[in-house]
Amino acid sequence: MLRTRIIPTLLLRNESLIKTVRFGKFSYVGDPANTVRIFNELEVDELLFLDVTATVEGRKPNLKVLAEIADECFMPLGYGGGIRSFEDAQIILKLGFEKVVVNTRALEEPSFITRLSEHFGSQAIIVSIDVKRGLFWGDQVRSRAGGKNARRSPVEWAREVERLGAGEILLTSIDREGTWEGFDLDLVRSVSEAVRIPVIANGGAGKVEHIGQAVKEGCASAVALGSMVVFQRKGMGVLVNFPEESELRRILA
């Protein structure tokens, strides 16, 4: 088994899977449960699902879809999107998910992280940090699917969420997300070196070499893959896939 976790990170919109580019334009990918069945066969170690419209639309997580995913999935699962209360997190974990991902609610009420962590354990709490590069003010943390500037620096916020009890950070470069251009290594490195908890690099992977760069140059503990695992290649059609273990071993050696 690989020591570095490589995590397919799938985006939900209503009851469908999509893939976005820079949190904007999106393409339809397929049915969540069917996609989980394929990843079961590919024997991936972990899956993350993020509902990218729940918070913006002011709605709760779609428990029907999440129950279907949990019923089909053989590997550990994480979910984020629309988690606004302790009860939301509790229901999702009871469905069979091992981890919850929080973003907007954590920025609005940082003590929410501590409450979840103290009850469920830090290993069950991922804080998602979405970052957009500003023209004059440098990297800025964003909430509400990238639509609101939280006016926090990624490093400052990462240190705070660690102190509050987060078990992991999902760090996403909005500018790189869905582009296939590679991770923002400066961003990944700055956050990874600022905290002791695992940092999952997300946003930009387009080839296996990018995974190696995120780990070796960015010091990431884990790597999230989106476009790479749902499309044949950039500009081509849907094909759910996962890098060969031999390739991953080669670039992570």
Q: How many CB atoms lie within 10 A of CB 157?
A: 22
pLDDT for 202 equals: 98
**What three-state secondary structure class fits 42?**
helix
Looking at 88, 130, 139, 184, which residue is catalytic? 130
Cα-flanking dihedrals φ and ψ of residue 40, to 5°? Answer: -60, -45
How far does CA 162 lie from the centroid of its chain? 17
pLDDT for 1 equals: 55
Domain extent listing, the chain:
5-252
Architecture of domain 5-252: Alpha-Beta Barrel (3.20)
- Percent helix, strand and coil across the chain, each rounded to 5? 35, 25, 40
- Whether 130 is a known active-site residue: answer yes
Question: What is the rounded distance in angstroms from the CA atom of residue 200 to the CA atom of residue 205?
Answer: 12
Question: What is the rounded distance in angstroms from the CA atom of residue 34 to the CA atom of residue 151?
Answer: 39
Q: Residue 147: CB partners within 8 Å, gap ≥ 6?
A: 56
| 117, 164 Cβ separation under 8 angstroms | yes
pLDDT for 196 equals: 98
Cα-flanking dihedrals φ and ψ of residue 43, to 5°? Answer: 60, 45
Q: Residue 95: CB partners within 8 Å, gap ≥ 6?
A: 63, 66, 67, 70
pLDDT for 137 equals: 77
Give the containing element (helix H, strand E) for 79. Answer: strand 77-80
Mind listing the pLDDT tens digit for each residue in 49-60? 999 999 999 999
pLDDT for 134 equals: 82
Strand pairing of 125-134 and 138-143? antiparallel
| Mean pLDDT (10-residue bins), the chain, 253 residues | 89 96 96 97 96 96 97 97 98 98 98 98 98 87 95 97 98 98 98 98 98 98 98 94 96 93
Question: What is the rounded distance in angstroms from the CA atom of residue 55 to the CA atom of residue 84?
Answer: 9
**What's the pTM?**
0.97
Instruction: Calculate ∠ Cα 88-91-93, nearest 5°.
Output: 110
How far does CA 181 lie from the centroid of its chain? 18
